[in-house]
Chains A and B, each alone.
Chain A
Amino acid sequence: MGWFDDNFIPAVDGVAYGLLLFVVAAGLTLAFGSGGVLNLAHGTLYAFAAYTATAVADGSWVGLALAVLAGIGAGAAGGGVLAALTAPIAGRGHMAQAMLTFGVALVGGDLLTTWFGKDDPQVLVPGALEKPVSILGHNYPGYRLAFIVVAIVLGVGGWYVLARTRIGAAVRASVDDPEMLAAGGISPARVRTGVLVAAGALAGLAGGLGAPIIGPSTSVANTVLLQSLLVVVIGGLGSVGGALLAAILVGEVQTLGVTLMPDLAPYLLFATMAVMLIARTARFGPTGSRV
């Protein structure tokens, strides 16, 4: 039991971290799969939302709700800007658009430090959530526990929308074959904008809810982008279940891995990615399309 006791808290933390990454990665997959944009500014959207939420939150419950809404709004607005910026070059292929979002990430990162300063701000959450909660004899931060619950509820809701509603069917169709959807009378440009705004909103939701877990800082954009890219690569492009497992895995490596093997943790993620890629491509050949 000793080992379990020592590592229980990091393990639960890993789940919280992983679920947060899953929300971010879902937006990334949506933008790429359906909108055709590899959004290298996705982490910047997260950072923007996290900063905004932190600025809005004042420690009250209303403040928390407003902060999350503000985060979603910030992310969605950022997604809209990206949609507008990439629209003129949508016909030039994935690479040009990826380059453009790369530029947006650099500009956005600079603007964020200018607006919000270089210090890492602390998020004020309602007092009730700041208290540690006792689970299985361990004290655990209440906010994170609440986040896990909220994320699971969101996940189930998201699954319901995707799998059981007309909108979900349209999104799934647009991931599979955007042109086919266009042939079905749905404007691809509008789908594209909608998808990028929705993807931004997902990053914003993650930023708004996750600010107390992965807080806003000058480096957070890159960290979140990189880790959510890893989630997408490990989980397999377009696979929601795979992404969820990969997100939990990455979360555990970031928390449990750091506790157990502090020296090896950074490489562990890379090794996981390598193994997954080799395993997958050994069966199906090179992944990713030439553009």
Chain B
Amino acid sequence: MTTLALRARTALHSPRARLVGRVLAVAAIVWLFAAPYLVGLFTLILLSQALSLGVLAASVAVLGGGAGLPSLGQVAPYAVGGYTAAILAEHGMRIGVVHTLVAAAAGALFNALTAPIVVRTRGVTVLMITLAVGELVRTAAEKWKSVTGGTDGKSGVPPIQPFWGMGDLVDDVDTYWYVLLTTLVVIGITAVVLRSPAGLLLDGARENETRMRATGHPVTRYLSVTYIGVGALAGVAGALLISVQRYISPAHIGFDTSSLVLLAVVIGGGASLVGAMIGAGLIVFTRDWLSGPWPGHGPLLLGALFLIAVYTLPGGLVGLTAGGPRAAWRALGRATGTPDLPDEPADPEKAETAEKAEEGKAEKPATTEQAAPPAADPDALLTITGLTRRYGALAAVDGLDLTVRRGARHALLGPNGAGKSTVLGMIAGATPVTSGTIVFAGRDITRLAPARRSRIGIARAFQQPAVVPSLSVLDNVALAAWRHARITGAAWRPVRYRALAGEAATHLETVGLTDRADEIAGELSHGSRRLLDIAMALAGHPTLLLLDEPAAGLTDTDIVRLATVLKALPAEVTMVLVEHNFALVREVTDTVTVLASGQLLATGTPDEIAADQAVRDTYLGASEPEHQEVG
């Protein structure tokens, strides 16, 4: 199991990606350390500026490429950090370390205040909101003269001392060292956090939020924490700006800076920290180099660079849209000629197990009793009373009463539009309930959020398989097990991840995907993706497993495997299955409830239902004869 986990880990950070990223980072760091001996004073000052801007760009990269919240407003915590440092210095506190820490805290605090708004939005709406936040802070800096100095800004900030007992930073070379070391420390910390297993949480939140919520992850909290964290990062960048130029004004925190930083990230490519730093460097130097022959046209050049970057660096934008830098590396890996493995044919061994399981099926308790009236049944795991969901005038589900026994294999049948998926959605918490109650294990969960329901044991497989496309198969299941595994330890500890991956591997074994643990989820066939989706549901150790048309779109071979998996479910897992394939329903369930127009039509064993005249008329009628044959 451990070897498997390790293997997946290397798939996540492929050796090539690691190598290129590290070589680039190490080369950059070596060069930065050698710079004071290689380049002139003026270049060194530019380098200091580039480092400060680079930290800001890194914060935008983490937010955009990591959490999927592309921001034009990180200048706000940057400004807060910068003004805080300037004010500290004016009041006699000139210790650089204190500046850095206080500015980080101020930036984080600012973002904590705006987080409730920003994390409510996604995609380009984030651009709009953050743009407004940035402008707000710039306006405040202009108007609040007593604190910020108005449009003139804070000039003549006294030089800082890096640490107690050290001299003033007046020499540009000394300043450079201070900026370089501070930058390395904060970027290093950020990189460690991002590369730890906790980074997977951001990948999941960015790429498949619904799935993350359905497996118990509080996505909004993750996004808030990230947003506050990058506020600290931007705050440090602001403090560094003060130490470099000892001056800050509203001109430094406007639209231009936002665009510079975003451009750096676009060039650097999504979530890549090194990329963002290098992008910032390129911009600072290009701007300076071009301002000589062509003064006063900064925006023109910047805009032109933007256009060039957007057209020529689609890979750079990948991180801001979908896939992330890892996908970009993988695309690179494919382009450089790693042969794709052909899809393996169905494992003969698995087919055998399927047959064996079929034989064992007869042992299952065959229940013939009708579902008892709600609330009276002590065996009931799930009791639905008067459940209704209206869409305008249409009642998709209309006053449904349903009881699911503990350990039942319960199928929901019905023609299209009968409200089956809506019922599942309401049990899982994804669809709001108009009226009625859902009681699960003696607890009213009608108003509980999806993530909470997942944590009390309701798991869901989606009608469209919901996976995190850029992660490996194993990582997907590890993410799904994250909130459920009885493993202690901090989220970013590799030890904990290995334990999780070990557990995830057992779920993959259950669904027969062990051979494909290292593959990228987005590249799986539909059938395999379906099985992965089910493995992710199982990873939640569910008491109640909700399956929405798992057989839809599957090949016959895949359906056989699916039936095997469903029949092998532990006895304590209760299953609610929505399915059109009556052969499968007969094979894996013991109770069938038929819905029509959002109301209950009949409940009984599969055989009773197959014989029921009312059911035949509405559903199994002449329109779908193949169901009768297989049934």
Q: Which residues of A contact B (CB under 8 A)?
A: 32, 38, 40, 85, 88-89, 92-96, 98-100, 102-111, 114, 222, 226, 229-230, 232-233, 237, 263, 266-267, 269-270, 273-274, 277-278, 281, 286-291
Partner of A95, one of B124, B132, B220: B124
B590 interface hit (Cβ, 8 Å): no
Q: Chain B: how many interface residues by the 8 Å CB criterion?
A: 48
Judge whether B307 and A96 touch: CB under 8 Å.
no
Judge whether A102 and B262 touch: CB under 8 Å.
yes
Report the nearest B residue to A86, measured CB to CB: B310
B209 interface hit (Cβ, 8 Å): yes
Judge whether A286 and B124 touch: CB under 8 Å.
no
Judge whether B120 and A286 touch: CB under 8 Å.
yes
Judge whether B123 and A233 touch: CB under 8 Å.
no
- Shortest distance between the CB of B220 and any CB in chain A (Å): 8
Judge whether B259 and A96 touch: CB under 8 Å.
no
CB-CB under 8 A from B307, the residues of chain A are: 85, 100, 103-104, 107
Give the most central of B122, B128, B255: most A CB within 10 Å. B128
B414 interface hit (Cβ, 8 Å): no
- Shortest distance between the CB of A223 and any CB in chain B (Å): 9
A94 to B119, CA, bound (A): 19
A-B contact pairs, 19 of them (CB 8 A): A89-B311, A95-B320, A96-B314, A96-B321, A100-B310, A104-B307, A106-B302, A107-B299, A107-B304, A109-B303, A226-B131, A266-B143, A286-B120, A286-B220, A288-B121, A288-B126, A290-B209, A290-B322, A291-B321
B117 interface hit (Cβ, 8 Å): yes
- Shortest distance between the CB of B321 and any CB in chain A (Å): 5
Q: Which residues of B contact A (CB under 8 A)?
A: 68, 70, 116-117, 119-129, 131-133, 135-136, 139-140, 143, 206, 209, 220, 255, 259, 262, 266, 297-300, 302-307, 309-311, 314, 317, 320-322
Judge whether A232 and B321 touch: CB under 8 Å.
no
A111 to B302, CA, bound (A): 13
With A266-B136, A267-B136 known as contacts, the answer to whether A106 contacts B299 (CB < 8 A) is yes
- Shortest distance between the CB of A51 and any CB in chain B (Å): 16
CB-CB under 8 A from A40, the residues of chain B are: 127
CB-CB under 8 A from B262, the residues of chain A are: 99, 102
Extra A-B contacts (6), CB below 8 Å, given A96-B310, A103-B303, A286-B209: A92-B317, A98-B124, A99-B310, A100-B310, A107-B299, A269-B132
CB-CB under 8 A from B311, the residues of chain A are: 88-89, 100
Judge whether B303 and A288 touch: CB under 8 Å.
no
A255 to B628, CA, bound (A): 72
Judge whether A229 and B206 touch: CB under 8 Å.
no
CB-CB under 8 A from A104, the residues of chain B are: 303, 307
- Shortest distance between the CB of A149 and any CB in chain B (Å): 31
CB-CB under 8 A from A270, the residues of chain B are: 132-133, 136
Judge whether A102 and B300 touch: CB under 8 Å.
no
Judge whether A277 and B136 touch: CB under 8 Å.
no
- Shortest distance between the CB of B20 and any CB in chain A (Å): 24
Judge whether A277 and B129 touch: CB under 8 Å.
yes
CB-CB under 8 A from A287, the residues of chain B are: 120-122, 125
With A99-B317, A103-B310, A291-B321 known as contacts, the answer to whether A263 contacts B143 (CB < 8 A) is yes
Report the nearest B residue to A40, measured CB to CB: B127
A21 to B452, CA, bound (A): 43
- Shortest distance between the CB of B538 and any CB in chain A (Å): 26
Judge whether A100 and B124 touch: CB under 8 Å.
no
Judge whether B136 and A107 touch: CB under 8 Å.
no
Partner of A106, one of B133, B306, B309: B306
* Secondary structure dominating the interface of B: helix
Judge whether A102 and B306 touch: CB under 8 Å.
yes
Partner of A222, one of B206, B255, B300: B255
CB-CB under 8 A from B220, the residues of chain A are: 286
* Secondary structure dominating the interface of A: helix
Report the nearest B residue to A229, measured CB to CB: B128
Report the nearest A residue to B133, measured CB to CB: A270
CB-CB under 8 A from A230, the residues of chain B are: 132
A283 to B259, CA, bound (A): 33
A267 to B127, CA, bound (A): 19
Judge whether B117 and A278 touch: CB under 8 Å.
yes
Judge whether A110 and B131 touch: CB under 8 Å.
no
Judge whether A110 and B125 touch: CB under 8 Å.
no
CB-CB under 8 A from B300, the residues of chain A are: 106-107, 110-111
Judge whether A226 and B266 touch: CB under 8 Å.
no
CB-CB under 8 A from B303, the residues of chain A are: 103-110
With A103-B306, A266-B143 known as contacts, the answer to whether A290 contacts B123 (CB < 8 A) is yes
Judge whether B209 and A100 touch: CB under 8 Å.
no
CB-CB under 8 A from B133, the residues of chain A are: 270
CB-CB under 8 A from A85, the residues of chain B are: 307
- Shortest distance between the CB of A38 and any CB in chain B (Å): 4
A226 to B137, CA, bound (A): 14
- Shortest distance between the CB of B618 and any CB in chain A (Å): 31
A84 to B304, CA, bound (A): 16
- Shortest distance between the CB of A197 and any CB in chain B (Å): 20
Partner of B120, one of A99, A106, A281: A281
Judge whether A266 and B140 touch: CB under 8 Å.
yes
CB-CB under 8 A from A114, the residues of chain B are: 297
With A95-B321, A99-B266, A266-B136 known as contacts, the answer to whether A288 contacts B123 (CB < 8 A) is yes
A230 to B297, CA, bound (A): 29
A287 to B118, CA, bound (A): 10
Give the most central of A105, A290, A291: most B CB within 10 Å. A290
A100 to B310, CA, bound (A): 6
Judge whether A278 and B120 touch: CB under 8 Å.
yes
A139 to B116, CA, bound (A): 45
A226 to B120, CA, bound (A): 19
CB-CB under 8 A from B127, the residues of chain A are: 38, 40, 98
Judge whether B121 and A286 touch: CB under 8 Å.
yes
CB-CB under 8 A from B124, the residues of chain A are: 32, 38, 94-95, 98, 288, 291
Judge whether A277 and B259 touch: CB under 8 Å.
no
Report the nearest B residue to A271, measured CB to CB: B136
Report the nearest A residue to B219, measured CB to CB: A286
Report the nearest B residue to A98, measured CB to CB: B124
- Shortest distance between the CB of A220 and any CB in chain B (Å): 13
- Shortest distance between the CB of A97 and any CB in chain B (Å): 8
CB-CB under 8 A from A222, the residues of chain B are: 135, 255
Give the most central of B132, B143, B297: most A CB within 10 Å. B132
Report the nearest A residue to B306, measured CB to CB: A103
A236 to B135, CA, bound (A): 20
Give the most central of B125, B133, B139, B259: most A CB within 10 Å. B125
- Shortest distance between the CB of A14 and any CB in chain B (Å): 19
CB-CB under 8 A from A229, the residues of chain B are: 128, 131-132
A289 to B127, CA, bound (A): 12
A32 to B125, CA, bound (A): 11
A232 to B116, CA, bound (A): 19
Partner of A233, one of B129, B297, B321: B129
A99 to B139, CA, bound (A): 24
- Shortest distance between the CB of A131 and any CB in chain B (Å): 35
- Shortest distance between the CB of B264 and any CB in chain A (Å): 12
CB-CB under 8 A from B70, the residues of chain A are: 95
A110 to B131, CA, bound (A): 20
A267 to B144, CA, bound (A): 12
Partner of A290, one of B116, B122, B132, B266: B122
Closest A-B pairs by Cβ, 6 of them: A103-B306, A106-B303, A288-B125, A107-B303, A110-B300, A281-B120
A104 to B132, CA, bound (A): 20
A229 to B73, CA, bound (A): 14
Partner of B132, one of A89, A108, A110, A273: A273
With A95-B317, A103-B303 known as contacts, the answer to whether A288 contacts B116 (CB < 8 A) is no
CB-CB under 8 A from A110, the residues of chain B are: 297-300, 303
CB-CB under 8 A from A106, the residues of chain B are: 259, 299-300, 302-303, 306
Report the nearest B residue to A88, measured CB to CB: B311
- Shortest distance between the CB of A78 and any CB in chain B (Å): 14
